[in-house]
Amino acid sequence: MKRLLLPLLLFTTTFTYAQQFGGNPPSIKWQQVNTPQARVIFSQGMDSVALRVAQTIAQMNRAIQPTIGYKQRKVSIVLQNQTTISNAYVGLAPFRSEFYLTAGQNSFEVGSLPWPEQLAIHEFRHVQQYNNFNVGLSRGLSILFGEGGQALGNALSVPDWFFEGDAVYNETLVSKQGRGRLPYFFNGFRALWAAGKNYSWMKLRNGSYLDYTPNHYPLGYMMVAYGRQKYGNDFWKDVTHDAAAFHTGFYPLQGAIKNHTGENFIEFRNAALNHFKADFSFDISDDPPNITKQHFIADREFPAYVNDSTLIYLRSAYNHVPQFIIKTGNQEKAIAVQGINNDNYFSYQNGKIIYAGYRPDLRWGFRNYNELTVLDINTGKERRITRKTRYFSPAFSADGKIIVTVQVATTGKSELHLLNENGKLLSALPNNAGLFYTYPKFYGDDKLISAVRNFKGEMSLALIDIKSGSNKYLLPFSFEPIAFPQVQGDTVYFTKTSGLEDKLFALVISSNKLYRVNAATPNASIGYYQPATGVKKLAWAGFTAFGYQVNEANLTDIKFIPVADEQAFKPLPDVGISVLNKDTASNILAAVKPDSLPVTKYSKLHGLFNFHSIFPLLDDPNYALQLVGNNVLNTFQSQLTFNYNRDEGYKQIGYEAAYGGLYPYLLAGADYTLDRRGIANGGYVYYNETAIHAGLQVPLNFSAGKHLTGLTVASNLYYSGNAIQDPFRSTYKDSHYTYLSSSIRFTNQTQQARQHINPHFAQSISINYKNAVSGQDATQILGVSTLYFPGLSANHSLVLSGAYQHRGQNNAIGYSNDFPFSYGYSAISLDDMNRFAVSYHFPIAYPDAGMANLLYILRLRGNLFYDQTNGNAERFYSDGSAFKGKFRSAGAAVFFDTKWFNQASVSFGLRYSYLLDNDLFGGNGHNRIELVLPVSVF
């Protein structure tokens, strides 16, 4: 069945935020801090973090409201501390936010501010945006369709680059740091400019399968910051109000910019990008290399020397998952694929690689772990040496017998742990100073060196005594990020932000002398990251338009330039946006006071139903309205549906609910249908139908290492009763029956690279068994499987599919038919059916082309297929004779991977099927052409 949706709602799914249903165990006791701006919900023991988030929001809110609007709607913010992922979001449908509280190790990526505060000053700006974008047509959509309607209106009128760019501007404004002050944040555009890459606006907005393009965060910041710099602090408030209200027509934001600046959008965006391009003009060579036609090559990261002629690094390409590479001379040799992880960082010593691999909890989606994995480069064999740990950035001692790693507890506390080579904990060093450790390394046998962040978010290098845990700070604390320390003898190399560049420094520990390392870098290479030292060589990763590339230099060719502290440590630059320092909200984060706020219990039953959106749905012949609800903790989902069936003319009202707060999901639902229609004795019979069901479902996640593996087991009990309408009650009796539907679904797949159409190896197997338990006699079993294999080329895919269905010969219950019938044929449910299909998928072209900022085509891909279904049925015909037949088809399809409105991903295709047998239950002829639309959009 092909699904068609109301045009405006076709893209809703792209603009909503994925939420983890039932992700926390029931043992967690929730508490809350309430302010007029936000309800901060947190687990016991996280009081200080919750209070700091609430205080930051409360005291920042009034200062930054004038630049976006004064509308205020209270938001619920859930602090998730069981996960090792660093992230957050604010979303509508329902209106809520979640902060994932484990901070990342790389201080260049987001900065070094205390992570809860960083999330508060960025994410709450999104809250203010949504509060003030509920105007005009967006408001009308919200009245009609609820929060989902506003989400749609805002997404169609205000692009994602503004949402994120404005939030990045806010974090840069209210603190001494923020990504708008960090050179690393601009590396993507700097690399494009240095390489002479002049991509179209649509390519910058929509990305590419061939070329590197920066995401919408830096693009948005440059646009927003330029607008504030040139047109004042009220500029974007006025522009986005008009855009969200759709005051200016089909291109609302572009029209609003034209109205408020007098220049068209093309002129505005070019001026914004050129404003920043001028600040980084030193990246651009007077004699640039002829590399404008070069596509993305690969990211080569974290180089490590085996010896001066041999390097190990991680290589990630668009057509291959990340793998460890050993390079001697110009020859690369793959060692092994890296396991699933949150951070590509690894460390090497004495023939062994160690890194932190990601592992989810078996059941609870918000509980996951970082477990240490050791890889032998000579054998390619891996072993996991820790279980259910929260470890980051591990490194070996010089002899490879001891491991130092950062543990980040669920409380947010950071500690250095020492382990033996088998992962056994030897000691946990005290952290009385409340530091956050990143990238620790051994310095001799009795000391460690680590980049550290203090409670303000300032950074330094710390020399840590292993026995006592005492710290000696080797550099003054500053807001300039530091990362990737590498110890070589008495010298530690590291990367630190300095002005508009991330530079390489060396500190001689015994003399406490600091040097800037001046190493020649190739044209179009930006920054000095992840240094590695050999006996006579130095390597580092520099960013380019073609990915991170490893650069090398002889130590004899490198200049060490002495640097005084007052030269090396300065306030971060404003990168050409001087109004950051003139706003009344500048650096208000430093002035946030620890006001006392009451902490109370938060009931898991609070707002349980929380109906927030109405979704219209067209699934011909069914036309439906769905009222959807989710509670804030996302443990309860409910849906009230009214449906009209055009074929039969029946009306149906139904309710579905799922509770995910216990180990098994609890499922229940009920439907009442008026005016169902059946055929008997050559005429219509009308009846009303009541259906009730309840059941259990257990989702299990076995993912580990290099595989994503899931198993779901479910069982539901269904009751159905039919009440015959007058005047047919005298001829036909009411009926009812109860049946049990049990299922098991298993999925397993390897990691998938960007260009891969399907994973190279994957399996999906599902079995469903239905049997009557009262009222009638009926059984049905259905098994479906799909196997994925690599094709003849890296991005090709071979897919084998199979299915089998059997039902009892005298079934008195007409179970739903979910059998995947052969392409092109009209499906029918028979007593016995089996199917085999083979398809071969391949890319055709990567157009990277679009039109009118509406439709952008990233990729065309095709597949060839052969499909065969065999079926038979006893007493099929009116004379009691049996049926047996084949339904074979072959054909091809072409699919378009597209983006609409520069941000909504939609894939659709055209499929041609040639029927090798007659379509006995459908139309005439052997040729079929079908439009293949998204199976599910909401």
Tens digits of per-residue pLDDT, 626-660? 999 999 999 999 999 999 988 788 999 999 999 99
147-157 helix and 235-244 helix, angle to the nearest 10 degrees: 120
Distance from chain centroid for Cα 30: 26
Domains present along the chain, CATH in parentheses: 34-289+577-601 (1.10.390), 339-479 (2.120.10.30)
pLDDT of 566 reads 64
User: pLDDT (tens digit, 9 = 90+) per residue, 732-742?
Assistant: 888 899 999 99
User: pLDDT (tens digit, 9 = 90+) per residue, 91-127?
Assistant: 999 999 999 999 999 999 999 999 999 999 999 999 9
Q: Rounded to whole angstroms, how far apart are CA atoms 431 and 433? A: 6
Q: Lowest mean pLDDT: which of 375-384, 557-566, 759-768, 843-852? A: 557-566
Give me 501's structure tokens.
Answer: 């560049």
pLDDT of 679 reads 63
pLDDT of 16 reads 40
Residue 300 is inside which H or E element, if any? strand 299-307
Give me 303's structure tokens.
Answer: 């180089």
Q: Give the E-state strand segments of 409-558 in sequence order.
A: 414-420, 425-429, 436-443, 447-453, 459-465, 471-473, 482-488, 491-498, 501-508, 513-518, 526-533, 537-544, 547-554
pLDDT of 565 reads 67
Q: Of 585, 595, 457, 588, which Cα lies nearest the Cα of 54?
A: 595
Q: Looking at residues 800-824, what average pLDDT do you find? A: 88
- Percent of the chain at pLDDT > 70 equals 96
Preceding omega of 36 cis (within 30 degrees of 0)? no
Give the CA distances from residue 84 to residues 46, 279, 495, in Å, rounded to whole numbers and listed in that order.
Answer: 16, 36, 25
pLDDT of 935 reads 46
- Percent of the chain at pLDDT > 90 equals 85
Q: Rounded to whole angstroms, how far apart are CA atoms 5 and 936? A: 10
User: pLDDT (tens digit, 9 = 90+) per residue, 396-412?
Assistant: 999 999 999 999 999 99
Q: SS3 letters for 697-721?
A: EEEEECCECCEEEEEEEEEEEEEEE
Please check the confidence at residue 678 and state whether its pLDDT lies above 80.
Answer: no
pLDDT confidence band for 823 (50 / 70 / 90) = very high
Three-state DSSP class for 838?
Answer: strand
pLDDT confidence band for 811 (50 / 70 / 90) = confident
Contacts of 128 (CB under 8 A, 6+ apart): 61, 64, 65, 68, 69
Please check the confidence at residue 869 and state whether its pLDDT lies above 60.
Answer: yes
Please check the confidence at residue 11 and state whether its pLDDT lies above 50.
Answer: no
Distance from chain centroid for Cα 594: 34
What 8-state DSSP symbol labels residue 179?
A: G
Asked if 291 contacts 297 with a C-beta cutoff of 8 angstroms, the reply is no
Q: Looking at residues 456-485, what average pLDDT do you find? A: 96
Please check the confidence at residue 1 and state whether its pLDDT lies above 50.
Answer: no
pLDDT of 584 reads 93
Residue of 382 and 922 predicted with greater confidence: 382
pLDDT confidence band for 9 (50 / 70 / 90) = very low
pLDDT of 71 reads 97
Rounded mean pLDDT of the chain? Answer: 93
Q: Rounded to whole angstroms, how far apart are CA atoms 407 and 437? A: 9
Give the CA distances from residue 489 to residues 188, 510, 517, in Å, rounded to whole numbers and listed in that order.
Answer: 34, 10, 16
Please check the confidence at residue 12 and state whether its pLDDT lies above 60.
Answer: no
User: pLDDT (tens digit, 9 = 90+) per residue, 129-144?
Assistant: 999 999 999 999 999 9
Contacts of 771 (CB under 8 A, 6+ apart): 739, 740, 778, 779, 780
Please check the confidence at residue 812 and state whether its pLDDT lies above 80.
Answer: no
Contacts of 468 (CB under 8 A, 6+ apart): none
Q: Looking at residues 495-524, what average pLDDT do you find? A: 92
Residue of 6 and 407 predicted with greater confidence: 407
Paired sense of beta strands 779-790 and 762-774, if any: antiparallel
DSSP H helices, 608-752, are: none
Three-state DSSP class for 546?
Answer: coil
Give me 478's structure tokens.
Answer: 């500053």
pLDDT of 15 reads 37
pLDDT of 728 reads 82
Residue of 249 and 224 predicted with greater confidence: 224
User: pLDDT (tens digit, 9 = 90+) per residue, 278-304?
Assistant: 999 988 876 666 777 899 999 999 999
